[in-house]
């Protein structure tokens, strides 16, 4: 990375939901390395969020704030974006990353499961996106973290997949609605970080990975490369980029 690339983004800021752990954490570190100020929301990962914020502030000398927020509660989503507006006047990137991932079937699942998934994966991102769009400057961007399984219909995660499919469609609709000032894109990761699924054996996990056309698990750097591409290429809008080794082509995993 050159000094020029860091200076280019020095006046920018990003809000990353669910940014304390896993993929969200790695995206936060990458953006800090590019000079972004950061607002990281978390729910049950206070210690991880505090540690990450401390490490980023020390290494990259950028502004970092953390904000406890359960995005299943849409009222908390509104509090989060209001905090962002007050404290990050330079906010020009929103990454809707927060997620829950639990098995459910349509007939056996509860209404609470349905609403929890819709709230965290669709309604809260829409609320955040709407308020973000009202004050974000020109050339801002929203990136929605989706799932490579949005192309399939058979699932043991009915409410999760339904809500992620809805987020994918809203990504395309918002790309038209918010253009030309704001670009909206999505990233649909495949198997990037272990464990693949809760409650499966190591052997089953290995068998799932073997079915991926590239026959291997992805790396978080593949997600970071995609984020960087979306930041750098200002003519990409309304796209969902599958980073899955081809797994969405044959429903592997």
pLDDT in tens, 6-44: 444 568 999 999 999 999 999 999 999 999 999 999 999
Domain CATH code at residue 37: 3.40.50.720
Q: Please compute the mean of the pLDDT values over residues 221-228 and round it to a whole number.
A: 98
Q: What is the mean pLDDT of the chain?
A: 94
Query: What tens digit of pLDDT does each residue of 69-99 get?
Result: 999 999 999 999 999 999 999 999 999 999 9
- Range of the structural domain that residue 21 is part of: 10-245
| Measured distance CA(93)–CA(97) in Å, rounded | 12
Please indicate, yes or no, if residue 128 is contained in any of the structural domains: yes
Domain presence at residue 50: yes
CA distance 123 to 17: 13
Sole residue written with tokens 């790695």: 26
Could you tell me if residue 34 is inside a domain? yes
Q: How many domains does the chain have?
A: 1
Cα angle: 31, vertex 172, 72; to 5 degrees: 65
Domain membership flag for residue 3: no
For residues 164 and 31, what is the distance between their CA atoms, to the nearest angstrom?
A: 24
Within a domain: 38 = yes
CA distance 164 to 63: 31
* Predicted pLDDT of residue 10: 64
The arithmetic mean of pLDDT across residues 216-223, rounded, is 96
């Amino acid at each position: 990375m050159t000094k020029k690339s860091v200076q280019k983004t020095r006046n920018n800021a990003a809000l990353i939901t669910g940014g304390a752990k896993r993929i969200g954490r790695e995206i936060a570190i990458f953006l800090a390395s590019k000079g972004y100020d950061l607002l990281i929301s978390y729910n049950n990962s206070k210690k991880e969020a505090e540690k990450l914020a401390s490490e980023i502030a020390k290494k990259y000398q950028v502004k970092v704030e953390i904000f406890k927020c359960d995005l299943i509660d849409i009222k908390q989503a509104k509090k989060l974006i209001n905090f962002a507006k007050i404290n990050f006047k330079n906010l020009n990137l929103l990454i809707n990353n927060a997620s829950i991932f639990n098995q459910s079937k349509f007939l056996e699942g509860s209404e609470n499961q349905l609403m929890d998934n819709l709230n965290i994966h669709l309604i809260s991102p829409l609320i955040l996106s709407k308020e973000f769009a009202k004050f974000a400057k020109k050339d801002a961007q929203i990136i929605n973290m989706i799932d490579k399984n949005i192309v399939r219909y058979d699932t043991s995660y009915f409410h999760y997949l339904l809500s992620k499919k809805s987020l994918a469609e809203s990504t395309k609709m918002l790309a038209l609605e918010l253009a030309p000032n704001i670009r909206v894109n999505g990233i649909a990761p495949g198997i990037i970080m272990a464990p693949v699924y809760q409650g499966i054996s190591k052997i089953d996990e290995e068998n799932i990975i073997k079915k991926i056309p590239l026959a291997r698990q992805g790396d978080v750097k593949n997600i970071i490369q995609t984020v960087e591409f979306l930041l750098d290429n200002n003519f990409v809008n309304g796209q969902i980029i599958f980073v899955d080794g081809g797994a969405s082509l044959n429903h592997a995993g």
